[in-house]
Amino acid sequence: MHPMRTPSIYSQDDPISAALKPPPEETDAERIARQHAESEAKRVSEQIDEDLREERERMKKRKGDVKLLLLGQAESGKSTLQKQFQLMYRPHSIEQERSSWRTVIYFNVVRSLKQILTVLEAWDDSLDDLDQPPVDDTQSVAARKAKANGIADQPSPSTSLLNGSVIQSSPGSVAQSVATSSGSHPAVAKDGPAQIAHLRRRLAALVAMDAQLADRLSGGITVSGSGKGGVYVRSGWQSRTIDKLKGKQAANGKQSLPRESYSSDILTTDPLVLEVARHLQTSEDEIHDLWNHSTVKGMISKRRLKLDEWSEFFLQNISRVAAHDYLPTTDDILHARIQTMGVAEHTFDVNIHGKMVTWHLFDVGGARGQRHTWVPYFDDANAIIFVAPVSAFDQYLEEDPRTNRIDDSLQLFTQICSNALLKSVHLVLFLNKTDLLRAKLERGLKVRKYITSFGERSNEYETVIQYFRAHFLQVHRRNNENRRVLYTHFTSVVDTKATQRIIGNVRDSIFRGYLQSAALV
Ligand SMILES: Nc1nc2c(ncn2[C@@H]2O[C@H](COP(=O)(O)OP(=O)(O)OP(=O)(O)O)[C@@H](O)[C@H]2O)c(=O)[nH]1
Ligand SMILES: [Mg+2]
């Protein structure tokens, strides 16, 4: 080192120090600017260090958490199952949301009315050709009109499970005989096309509110291919709807309410919800008459009109839902339908034999266009509940009307079982909607008409459910390198008592696996 060099914190041998050295002819202003920049850089750097430290802490904490994915096709019942977890482990949060479900239920009712009226219109409000087979869409203007709306019943392809052979059933085979008075008495005003035209006029204003309700729920987001014109919502839609209203109230000079008390107070002030409620109240008789109209009943029996389960549930309960002081019951919330968009995380503290473990439940959107969002969650998942709706044997995907929904579930289950990222995940299968399966079979729907490989087996519930179960077990067996166990349950996740018992069972089996893996670490 040079003996005459002035002592300095900057070593001239170090290139980094040299670079940091202040310029030799720095003015006061430049010095202040430089020092300011340096202290800002230091602050940012410290913030990054702090963030990293917090992230490490969080990761350390989350290491002991259980991550559970709910997977399955659209409408399989994943979000409904999530609500059952919520009821079990965070019941107060359901109370907070209770009133916001009114918007969803009103939307479900309005959409159902719209669907009924559109299908009726496509068939000219009558069942006159009751004894004729359903019209081929190449022959009928009405059927084409209905097809354009995407909601009418068309002759559907039947399928042989997973073998890829899709056979077009003959249009006539779908027809079922039905006893109704409308065909023989088309001129009776109370029960004929004129009555439907009258109901259509009376319900027009209510039905027209469907777009506004959809907009309110989705927050203005529209997603193509959302099937049946449903709306997608991201997690947290309840509080977003409420925040929006809170904002409006604040702008009106009203004091915003604390989060805990938003439930009924705020939503009763949403002008849209109030308006729909008013319309529902004054239209209750018309809705009742439409729902009980013999033409509508005939259309349902003939399967020209295929209403979703939630439509039937709310229309059957219309006198309650249309009441001016309607507050959804827990059962209503479980039946309300809204499509999940992306992946919604729900966190619960679960007490297992005295030990509190945080569970992260990931409820995914099941439509084909949503499935790519699942993969990032596979990496560190501990368990999966795969939900397959077994009542869907006579239904086809919204996203692809040629794919039978049971077939899609089996294909999806194959992908999940064979996915390398998931090979050591605890796997649970829910064969869901068993209540609806039972009802369909009791109504006389024949499985073999839709699933050719079912053959001449008996059309009884036990035989059918065991047949479907065997197919899922076979998929699992063929894709089970790690020889893991598959836990299967027959479920109806709208049935709270039965589902909570099964959740307890699943929780214990996941926890046993969790203890074993913790012991291995
Ligand atoms: N009757 C009956 N209805 C059910 C059952 N499971 C679900 N549902 C109803 O089916 C509809 C669809 O259920 P969701 O839980 O929204 O379906 P999802 O799997 O979350 O659908 P995506 O979010 O689109 O992937 C809702 O109206 C539920 O009430 C069941 O076991 N029985
Ligand atoms: Mg969902």
DSSP string, 451-510: BGGGTT---SHHHHHHHHHHHHHHHHHHT-TT---EEEEE--TT-HHHHHHHHHHHHHHH
Integer Cα distance of 197 and 188 in angstroms? 13
pLDDT reported for residue 54: 79
Please state the separation of Cα 398 from the chain's center in Å.
Answer: 14
Residue 22 lies in a domain: no
Question: 392: left (phi > 0), else alpha (psi -120 to 50), else beta?
Answer: alpha
- Whose CA is closest to 472, among 412, 513, 394, 420? 412
pLDDT, tens digit, for every residue of 346-402?
999 998 778 889 999 999 999 999 999 999 999 989 999 999 999 999 999 998 999
Name the pLDDT band for 126 (thresholds 50, 70, 90): confident
Residue 428 dihedral angles phi and psi, to the nearest 5°: -125, 135
pLDDT reported for residue 219: 76
CB of 203 closer than 8 Å to CB of 121 = no
CATH number at residue 349: 3.40.50.300
> What average pLDDT does range 293-312 have in this prediction?
94
Residue ending a domain, among 319, 335, 351, is 335
The CA 160 to ligand 2 mean position distance, Å, reads 28
* In a shared domain, residues 206 and 315: yes
Residue ending a domain, among 315, 335, 355, is 335
Quote the domain boundaries for residue 479. 67-95+342-520
One-letter amino acid of 342? G
Residue nearest to atom 7 of ligand 1 (CA): 77
Query: Does residue 307 line the site of ligand 1, with CB under 6 A?
Result: no
pTM of this structure: 0.78
Integer Cα distance of 268 and 58 in angstroms? 39
* In a shared domain, residues 315 and 433: no
Residue 75 lies in a domain: yes
Q: Average per-residue pLDDT in the chain?
A: 81
pLDDT reported for residue 239: 61
Give the DSSP letter of residue 427.
E
* In a shared domain, residues 187 and 118: yes
Sheet holding 66-71, edge to edge: 343-352, 355-364, 66-71, 383-389, 426-432, 486-490
Which ligand 1 atom is at minimum distance from the Cα of 108?
27
* In a shared domain, residues 150 and 87: no
CB of 182 closer than 8 Å to CB of 298 = yes
CB of 394 closer than 8 Å to CB of 450 = yes
* In a shared domain, residues 71 and 88: yes
The CA 301 to ligand 1 mean position distance, Å, reads 23
* In a shared domain, residues 330 and 264: yes
* In a shared domain, residues 331 and 405: no
* In a shared domain, residues 188 and 222: yes
Residues 6 or more apart whose Cβ sits within 8 Å of residue 161:
406, 407, 410, 451, 453, 471
pLDDT reported for residue 20: 64
- In the numeric block, which tokens belong to residue 82? 């999530």
pLDDT, tens digit, for every residue of 429-485?
999 999 999 999 999 999 999 999 999 999 999 999 999 999 999 999 999 988 889
Structural domain tally of the chain?
2
Residue 33 lies in a domain: no
Query: Does residue 309 line the site of ligand 1, with CB under 6 A?
Result: yes
ipTM above 0.90, yes or no: yes
The CA 353 to ligand 2 mean position distance, Å, reads 30
Burial of 244 (0-12, 13-18, 19+ CB in 10 A): middle
The CA 429 to ligand 2 mean position distance, Å, reads 17
The CA 327 to ligand 1 mean position distance, Å, reads 21
Residue 3 lies in a domain: no
Integer Cα distance of 314 and 395 in angstroms? 21
* In a shared domain, residues 136 and 252: yes
Which ligand 1 atom is at minimum distance from the Cα of 340?
23
Name the pLDDT band for 511 (thresholds 50, 70, 90): confident
Integer Cα distance of 346 and 339 in angstroms? 16
CB of 465 closer than 8 Å to CB of 437 = yes
Residue 137 lies in a domain: yes
Which ligand 1 atom is at minimum distance from the Cα of 363?
20
Pocket test for ligand 1, best of 309, 361, 438 (most atoms within 8 A of CB): 309
- Grouping H, G, I as helix, E, B as strand and the rest as coil, residue 433 is coil
Residue 303 lies in a domain: yes
* In a shared domain, residues 382 and 508: yes
- Residue 182 pLDDT greater than 90, yes or no: no
> What average pLDDT does range 125-154 have in this prediction?
49
432 is in an annotated binding site: yes
pLDDT reported for residue 253: 42
Residue 1 lies in a domain: no
Residue 29 lies in a domain: no
Kindly identify the ligand whose nearest atom is closest to the C-alpha of 432. 1
- Residue 332 pLDDT greater than 90, yes or no: yes
* In a shared domain, residues 303 and 355: no
Query: Does residue 235 line the site of ligand 1, with CB under 6 A?
Result: no
pLDDT reported for residue 264: 46
Which ligand 1 atom is at minimum distance from the Cα of 365?
25
- Residue 36 pLDDT greater than 50, yes or no: yes
Give the DSSP letter of residue 227.
T
Query: Does residue 155 line the site of ligand 1, with CB under 6 A?
Result: no
The CA 80 to ligand 1 mean position distance, Å, reads 6
Residue ending a domain, among 294, 316, 335, is 335
* In a shared domain, residues 270 and 358: no
